[in-house]
Amino acid sequence: MRLHVVSDLHGATDHLARAAQGCDALLVLGDLINVLDYHRMEGILVDIYGPEPVAEAAGLRARGRYEEAREVMRRRSLPDLEVRERFVALARAEYERVFAALPDNSFVTYGNVDIPELLIEHLRPGIRFLDGEVIELDGERFGVVGGGLRTPLGIPGEVDEAVYDRKLEAIGPVDVVCTHQPPRIPWLVYDVLGRRFEPGSTGLVAYITTHRPRWSLFGHVHQPLVDRTQIGPTRLVNVGHFQRTGAPWVHETGA
């Protein structure tokens, strides 16, 4: 069975139909909507606040100055209720576009920038949401864990580390563990363009060491220092930044 795996769509739907060609199922590992594209200064936050304050706040966040970044946004912001309403409306429109482009026989989880409740609202027959669950495809067990780990940003798709680890425990031994978050290994979580370490899961490292799945597939880091490596028999693969590449990672069951 041929499975195509993608992550970090960030609203990019143009290549989804091509990415799904020739596969038996499509697995999406989160970050479906485009909250902010740092490089092109596009996304929901730019639509709400404008490019200048968002660029300034993004630069502060990249240097770990989160409170100053919040203050920049507060100075330029609309009333809180209006911001929330506009954000939800724009996110809902993004999800509508993405789900309209997803083919049948798709499996989806959420990433750190997603809003899980809104994502789930847009499910339709032929598309299944997974989080802390196992599916079997062609005799191979796939464990899927969604979400990102908590950061000072405090965004809806982030969860506490203990919650994340419980979801890993819930899936038990599998052939392929699929997550949005990468294992916390320095060369996998360092983004060479952002010049910073992104969050990674120590619990996922422990899970891999204990259960020794054949594959660990993940996303989140757009330009990693290394996009694949190995822990014992487990092959670890960052499936790529789909918004930029438009290309899936191809997984053949039994391989």
The 3-state DSSP class for residue 43 equals coil
Tell me if 56 is assigned to some domain. Answer: no
Tell me if 93 is assigned to some domain. Answer: no
Tell me if 90 is assigned to some domain. Answer: no
Q: What is the pLDDT of residue 79?
A: 62
User: Phi, psi at residue 226, to the nearest 5°?
Assistant: -135, 135
Task: Give CA separation, 23 vs 16, 58, 99, 183, in Å.
Answer: 12, 37, 18, 27
**DSSP of 144-197, one letter per residue?**
EE--EE--TT--TTEE-HHHHHHHHHHH-S-SEEEESSPBS-HHHHEETTTTEE
Enter the DSSP assignment of 33.
S
- To the nearest 10 degrees (0 to 180), the angle between helices 51-62 and 66-75 is 170
Contact partners, residue 86, CB within 8 Å, separation at least 6? 47, 48, 78
Q: What is the pLDDT of residue 49?
A: 78
Per residue of the chain (255 residues), give pLDDT as tens. 999 999 999 999 999 999 999 999 999 999 999 987 766 768 888 887 777 877 777 777 767 777 777 777 777 666 666 778 888 999 999 999 999 999 999 999 999 999 999 999 999 999 999 999 999 999 999 999 999 999 887 888 999 999 999 999 999 999 999 999 999 999 999 999 878 899 999 999 999 999 999 999 999 999 999 999 999 999 999 999 999 999 999 999 987
Query: Are 16 and 7 in contact, with CB atoms under 8 Å apart?
Result: no
Domain hosting 154: range is 2-32+104-252
Is pTM, for the whole model, over 0.75?
Answer: yes
Task: Pull the structure tokens for residue 31.
Answer: 């970050």
Tell me if 89 is assigned to some domain. Answer: no
Tell me if 143 is assigned to some domain. Answer: yes
Could you give the number of structural domains in the chain? 1
Only one residue has tokens 């598309």, namely 127
Tell me if 154 is assigned to some domain. Answer: yes
The 3-state DSSP class for residue 232 equals coil
Query: Are 216 and 237 in contact, with CB atoms under 8 Å apart?
Result: yes
The CATH number given to whatever domain includes residue 145 is: 3.60.21.10
Task: Pull the structure tokens for residue 188.
Answer: 């996998």
Residue 173 CA from chain centroid, whole number: 22
Task: Pull the structure tokens for residue 15.
Answer: 């290549």
Q: What is the pLDDT of residue 76?
A: 62
Q: What is the pLDDT of residue 167?
A: 98
Q: What is the pLDDT of residue 211?
A: 98
Give the pairing of strands 176-179 and 2-6.
unpaired
Enter the DSSP assignment of 44.
H
> Which helix (H) or strand (E) segment is 143 a member of?
strand 140-145
Tell me if 115 is assigned to some domain. Answer: yes
Q: What is the pLDDT of residue 80?
A: 65
Residue 167 burial (CB count, 10 A): 19
**DSSP of 99-139, one letter per residue?**
HHHSPSSEEE---TTS-HHHHHHT--TTEEE-SSEEEEETT
Residues 93 and 107: their CA atoms lie apart, in Å, by 20
177 beta partners = 143, 216
Tell me if 146 is assigned to some domain. Answer: yes
